[in-house]
Structure 1
Amino acid sequence: MIVTQVHQRDVVDVLLAQHEEIKALFSRVAAAQGDRKREQFYDLVRLLAVHESAEEQLVHPAARKAIGEGNERIVDERLHEEAEAKRTLSDLYDLGVDHPEFNDRLTLLAENVVAHATNEEREEFPLLRSHVGPERLQRMASVFEAAEQAAPTRPHPSAGESATANIVFGPPLALFDKVRDALRKS
């Protein structure tokens, strides 16, 4: 009897898939016009906000623990990049897709977000896979997806990037964001 091992999706798989989706959304927003551009941008904002919030609650703390002392800079640099992206995304959201500077600022944000994702993929994700067991990484995928359900759908740069800040401020901000989302759609 031949036994084949089926690879169950783990948190790194989820993150990699979302990175690809984020890259595709940047392209779709850049190519769209009018209401379609606005809708695509709102989709991008939502995905980036929930992705980063869940990463800050779960992935970065696990990576920090896994890599040990002396390598904290890897996580610290990712958190700094995320803080910058949140501020830029929030400013871009306030600016609106019809603003003459929107496309240039979107291009710069896309470059920074792709560089951030590349840094995670090269530095942080391999450390997770080498220091965290596969069963835990698979459980983390479920927890990550649950954290996304409770995450804000807009960037809130002033809330902070720590796991604690996301746990404390995330649910009330998420509720506020979801009410705004519902009003926008009505």
Structure 2
Amino acid sequence: MDALDLLKEQHDEVNTLFKKFEKLEEGSTAELRELFVMIADRLSAHATIEEQFFYPSIKTDKTEDLIREAVEEHLGVKRIIADLLEMEPSDEQFAAKMKVLMENVEHHVEEEEDEMFKLVRKVLDKDQRFALGVQMKAEFDELMKGEPRNEVPMQTDEAAPV
């Protein structure tokens, strides 16, 4: 799989989970917690494969500043996740922190897909992106092993259990 397609797929997956979280905001604490943990696990694994494989593979003079900024954005997201892991969804600050997390991730994804991906297509050819994607997918899958609910719940109109 092309590395850019993999990252886009993961971005979309987390976005779907964020939307599900927003719909469940009035749901039970256990459901909200479980969904948050799914989001946190995916974001953590995603950041890991970007930092270990993707960013080093695309580093050039043209991408260096974008990569530096992306790593700082990852750090900010990790700090928010760490705070959220220490809280219960019933905490009055939990929803506010989740909103900030969503906004930070959305901003990061926009910059990555709108700016960085265009430069990557100039830096890596299709075969290089495919080989990188295979490597990144294997590491992501390994990181997600043993995590509860390795699949994103299907979107439905009904309130399905998480």
Q: 1:24 is matched by which residue type in structure 2?
A: T
CA distance in 2: counterparts of 1:72 and 1:133, whole angstroms: 19
Aligned with residue 87 of structure 1, among 46, 63, 79: 79
TM-score of the pair, normalised by structure 1: 0.72
Aligned-pair identity in percent equals 26
Matches within 5 A, 1:1-186: 9-32=1-24, 33-34=27-28, 35-64=30-59, 68-69=60-61, 71-151=63-143
Compute the displacement of 1:89 (Å): 0.9
Structure with bigger helix share is: 1
Contact 1:62 1:128 in 2 (8 A): no
Determine if contact 2:77/2:101 at 8 Å carries over to the other structure. yes
- 1:29, 1:41 within 8 Å by CA — same for their partners in 2? yes
- Residue 92 of structure 2 aligns to a residue whose secondary structure is coil
Gaps of 5+ in 2: 149-162
Shift of 1:104: 1.1
Separation (CA, whole Å) in 1 of partners of 2:21 and 2:75: 22
Is the contact between residue 63 and residue 116 of structure 2 (CA under 8 Å) also seen in structure 1?
no
- Length-normalised TM-score, structure 2: 0.82
1:62 aligns to what SS in structure 2?
Answer: helix
How many residues get paired?
145
Greater RCO, 1 or 2 (C-alpha within 8 Å, sep 6+) = 2
Q: What is the one-letter code of the residue matched to 1:60? A: Y
Larger radius of gyration, structure 1 or 2?
Answer: 1
Measured in 2, the distance between the counterparts of 1:14 and 1:71 equals: 19
Instruction: For 1:120 and 1:70, locate their aligned partners in 2 and report how far apart those are by CA, in whole Å.
Output: 14
